[in-house]
Amino acid sequence: MPPKIVKVPEYGQSWWMWWKTLQPEWRGMGEGKLSRQVLEGEKWSQTCRGGANGFLMIVLTLAWWIVAAEQNSEQCTADADLHLAMEDVKWVLDRMVMLINSEGILATGMKRSLDNTAALGDVAVKKR
C-alpha cells in the first residue's frame, strides 16, 4: 500500500529536492529545469544502481506521487511537476542505459559491486 500523501505539492517539492541531490553537479541544483548537457565521462554514480534498493526506489516514489495526485485531484497544480519528474527520470534512465551499453559494463561485475552499496537514500546523505 502506498503511503497516504495529504499535501501533494509539498511531496512533489520534496521529491524534486531529493532527485536533484542524486544528480551530477553539472545538472544544477537551483530552480528550474535540470541541465541536459551531459559532461563527457559522466558515470551517473548516484543513480546507476540496480536492484530492489536501487533506481526502483525513485520510480516507486514517483508512483506514490501519481497515486496521491489522482486521489487529490483538487491539488492538480502539481501535475506539471509530476510530468516533468517522470520525463526527467526517463531521460536519466536513457542516459544510464546508453552508458552501460557503450562501455560494455559486465552485468555480473556491476551487479556484484552494486550489491554492496547502500540504498539510494543513504548514498544521498553521504554524497561527497
Nearest to 113 by CA among 62, 31, 48: 48
Specify the residue for cell string 512533489. Answer: 12
Q: Is 111 in the site for other proteins (CB under 8 A)?
A: yes
User: What is the rounded distance in angstroms from the CA atom of residue 109 to the CA atom of residue 50?
Assistant: 12
In whole angstroms, what is the distance from residue 105 CA to residue 101 CA? Answer: 7
Q: Is 51 in the site for other proteins (CB under 8 A)?
A: yes
Q: What DSSP assignment string belongs to 38-60?
A: PPTT---TTT---STTTTHHHHH
Nearer to other proteins, 29 or 91 (CB): 91
Task: Give least dist CB 2 to other proteins, A.
Answer: 9
Q: How far apart are CA 43 and CA 92, in angstroms?
A: 11
Draw the binding track, 71-100, toward other proteins (x: CB under 8 A; -: no contact). ------------x--xx-xx--xx-xx--x
Smallest gap from Cβ 128 to other proteins, in A, equals: 23
Binding site for other proteins (CB under 8 A): 48, 50-52, 54-56, 59-60, 62-63, 66-67, 70, 83, 86-87, 89-90, 93-94, 96-97, 100-101, 105, 107-108, 110-111, 114
